[in-house]
Amino acid sequence: MSGYNLRFAKRNCPDMKIYLAPMEGVVDFHMRNILTAVGGYDYCVTEFVRVVDRLLPSRVFKRICPELEHGGLTASGTPVIVQILGSDINAMADNARHIAKLGAPGIDINFGCPSKCVNKNDGGAILLKNPHRLYDIVRAVREGVAEAVPVSAKIRLGFDDTDLALENALAVAEAGASFITVHARTRKDGYKAPARWEWLARINQALDIPVVANGDINSVEDYQRCIDISACEQIMIGRGAIARPDLARQIVSHQHGLEISELDWAEVKEMLAGMAIELQDHIKDRYILPRIKQWLVHLKRQYDEAHRCFESVRLMRSYAEFEQLLKNS
């Protein structure tokens, strides 16, 4: 390893970009289609594909990212970056090379997953304990794919504490990453508020690659405070995007000094119906209601009507009941 250090001088990042974050079991390709159709997103990132010690077949990546069958784009034309998670250097490089050949617009490496099961099996945030391992994995992936294919990594501020936050970020940068996404919490923090945006500022100052800010961006006001504190020009939103399906579009309007118009409940209800219809083509009816209920739980943070809808849907046992509710409401 060449010895990462604080020699990087901050450069001006390219224009602002908004990424849709992966959320296991929530933001899959169905949700990507719906949210990117609303507008505002420059890129999406898939849920992670677990890499162990061998090359995975194409069908595994296409199951997580069906967009690979369509040039790596959602139906509305938003590029989808494929995320991988693992610690075997050769297997990570081999799978990254295969993903690139399948046409992925980019490859992201997950060093942030806080799951105990994942960490116990030497994946995700556990690797934040050793910056050298981050460097080696990113370097292997970077060297394994063509220079034109962006390679990025997502990290947290650390495992139990922030002692290695800068060192980890610098390891990723020196290994050749195109950009880095930083969830401004440690693994120990889980998803508890508040995200520590001041740490993003320190990392942003130290690196010469774009730093994508992630964590607690749930409104236009949150976005503005985050970039004011962090000086990041790029952001990734997850839970905020599910609660406010037009959050990215609102932020873009804010950036350009335009009037911000918010989706009303009637429009959101149409999106719920659209989700249910799309799911019918891919999963059995009995699995559709749980997905709708799951989304409603997030929507309740923003829409009073979602509370009432959830109470109606919560006790339903069939998709037909939900269809009837939509017709009558």
Is residue 1 assigned to a domain?
Answer: no
Is residue 172 assigned to a domain?
Answer: yes
**Axis-axis angle for helices 131-144, 89-101 (nearest 10):** 30
Q: Which domain holds residue 115?
A: 17-255
Is residue 87 assigned to a domain?
Answer: yes
Does 113 qualify as catalytic in the annotation?
yes
Q: What is the pLDDT of residue 10?
A: 37
Is residue 4 assigned to a domain?
Answer: no
The tens digit of pLDDT for each residue in 173-198 reads 999 999 999 999 999 999 987 999 99
Total H helices, total E strands in the chain: 14, 8
Same structural domain, 173 and 235: yes
Contact 98, 59 (CB under 8 A): no
Answer with the one of 228, 255, 282 that is the final residue of a domain.
255
12 pLDDT band (50/70/90 cuts)?
Answer: very low
Report the percent of the chain where pLDDT is more than 90: 82
- What is the domain count for the chain? 2
Answer with the one of 221, 255, 289 that is the final residue of a domain.
255
**What's the helix, strand, coil split of the chain in %, to 5?**
45, 15, 40
Where residue 304 sits, what CATH number does that domain have?
1.20.225.30
- The HSE-up count of residue 300 (CA atoms within 13 Å, CB side) is 11
| Token digits of residue 81 | 């970056």
Q: What is the pLDDT of residue 329?
A: 64
Same structural domain, 239 and 295: no
Same structural domain, 51 and 122: yes
Instruction: Pick the closest to residue 98 from 126, 63, 61 (CA basis).
Output: 61
pLDDT at 148 over 90: yes
Answer with the one of 200, 235, 255 that is the final residue of a domain.
255
Q: Output the pTM of the full model.
A: 0.93
Residue of 13, 44, 65, 113 with catalytic role: 113
Same structural domain, 204 and 298: no
Q: What is the pLDDT of residue 285?
A: 76
Same structural domain, 36 and 138: yes
Same structural domain, 295 and 215: no
Same structural domain, 33 and 153: yes
pLDDT at 55 over 60: yes
110 pLDDT band (50/70/90 cuts)?
Answer: very high
Q: What is the mean pLDDT of residues 258-277?
A: 92
Is residue 244 assigned to a domain?
Answer: yes
